[in-house]
Amino acid sequence: MEMTKRPRRLRGSMTLRKMVRETRMDKASLMYPMFVMDGENKVEEIPSMEGQYRYTVDRMGECLQELLDAGVTSVMLFGIPAVKDEVGSQAYDDNGIVQRALRYAKEHFPQMYLVTDVCMCEYTSHGHCGVLCDHDVDNDKTLELLAKTAVSHAKAGAQMVAPSDMMDGRVAAIREALDEAGFTNVPIMSYAVKYASAFYGPFRDAAGSAPAFGDRKTYQMDFHNSREGIKEALLDEEEGADIIMVKPAMSYLDMVAKVREQVTTPIACYSVSGEYAMVKAAAKMGWIDEERIICEMAVSAYRAGADIYITYYAKELAKCMDEGKIG
């Protein structure tokens, strides 16, 4: 039998495999999610996320320096306030935890690109992502507070805001408020395709943001649906989102690929806390090779169409890129 087409020819050496590699990535596309909390001189490990920590503002520099040393230059900040109330007022307080963290980071680490999560769940006493009307989240009243929060973050130094609440119309409301406040150049990375997922469990432990009652299925998406995700992405792009995010990542790469085909914005995907915790647990038991697994997970996200990868493994992946294991 004569064979003229032999795909194995291009797999013969590491040099050749890298030469013809279809998926490329670099450290500039990595973003690290970071938890900042009220208090002083504290670094607390998150029980359900071994190796991840909550930092007070005076200690967050330790983490930021480690990231910069690894070549990771983007972080997304999540705030954990000491006091919560029904309307999440610490979210938009100009002296709130995220606002103070932004001012500190901007002063001491000007080379770090600062993104903020814009939501209410970490700040409300009931743990839902907006203002309640009886036991339901009032969409339109929540928009006012989300816009107020985004402007407060921008004033404190946020270079990008990322609304994660899943309220209808929030991108338009935030864009209008930012523009009116003079922040026309602050981009919006919208959690546009965000599913109601069990993969968020460890995050809710980290941020103390579990709902006090019910769940978030009236605003986060049903994981059975894909066309709905496309609709959400297109709506947010139309309202002015500069980047569209898919969340979670690992079980939703089909959505990354589908959204990639429909929108013209860059695509981000968030490898969430549950993904991290599962890998950590299996690696601790010796069942998997942690480094190889996280590399494979990351490459799969980029291969599906992601331009930005938000991950708790940002430092480790940066090292793997430096060593030529991926990238």
pLDDT at 209 over 70: no
Is residue 13 situated within a structural domain? no
Mean predicted confidence (pLDDT) in 87-111? 95
Compute the distance between CA of residue 236 and CA of residue 171 in angstroms, rounded to an integer.
6
Look up tokens 């890129």; give the residue: 321
Is 60 exceeded by the pLDDT of residue 236?
yes
Domain extent at residue 57: 21-322
Residue 155 annotated in active site? no
Q: Are 309 and 27 in contact (CB under 8 A)?
A: no
The answer to whether 318 and 30 are in contact (CB under 8 A) is: yes
Q: What is the pTM of this model?
A: 0.93
203 within domain boundaries: yes
- Per DSSP bridges, beta strands 136-137 and 113-118 are unpaired
Q: 221 or 263: which carries more pLDDT confidence? A: 263
Contact 303, 257 (CB under 8 A): no
- Give me the number of domains the chain comprises: 1
In this predicted structure, the answer to whether residue 214 has a pLDDT above a threshold of 60 is no
Of the residues 84, 148, 247, 258, which is catalytic? Answer: 247
- How many Å apart are CA 153 and CA 117, to the nearest integer? 9
Candidates 324, 320, 326, 325; CA nearest to 72 is 320
**Pairing status of strand 43-45 against strand 53-56:** antiparallel
What 3-state DSSP class applies to 243? strand
Asked if residue 199 belongs to a domain, the reply is yes
* Antiparallel, parallel or unpaired: β 132-133 and 136-137: antiparallel
**pLDDT at residue 67 tops 90:** yes
Does residue 10 lie in a domain region? no
- Is residue 206's pLDDT more than 60? yes
Confidence of residue 136 (pLDDT cuts 50, 70, 90): confident
H/E element holding 53?
strand 53-56
Tell me the percentage of the chain whose pLDDT exceeds 90. 75
Q: What CATH number should be reported for the domain holding residue 63?
A: 3.20.20.70
pLDDT tens-digit map of 255-296: 999 999 999 999 999 999 999 999 999 999 999 999 999 999
Interatomic CA distance for residues 74 and 34, integer angstroms: 10
Residue 169 counted as domain residue: yes
Q: What is the pLDDT of residue 79?
A: 95
Q: Tokens standing for 89?
A: 């007022």
| Residue 279 near residue 286, CB atoms below 8 Å | no
Residue written as tokens 């291969």? 303
Q: Which two structure tokens, joined as six digits, stand for 102?
A: 């932004």
Is 16 contained in some domain?
A: no
- Among the ranges 99-103, 124-128, 200-204, which has the highest mean pLDDT value? 99-103
- Angle among Cα 214, 48, 103 to the nearest 5 degrees reads 85
Q: Of the listed 194, 258, 280, 315, which one is catalytic?
A: 194
Give bridge partners of residue 309 from the DSSP assignment.
Answer: 30, 269
Active site residue 148: no
Quick check: is 4 in a domain? no
Query: How many helices and strands, by DSSP H and E, does the chain display?
Result: 11, 12
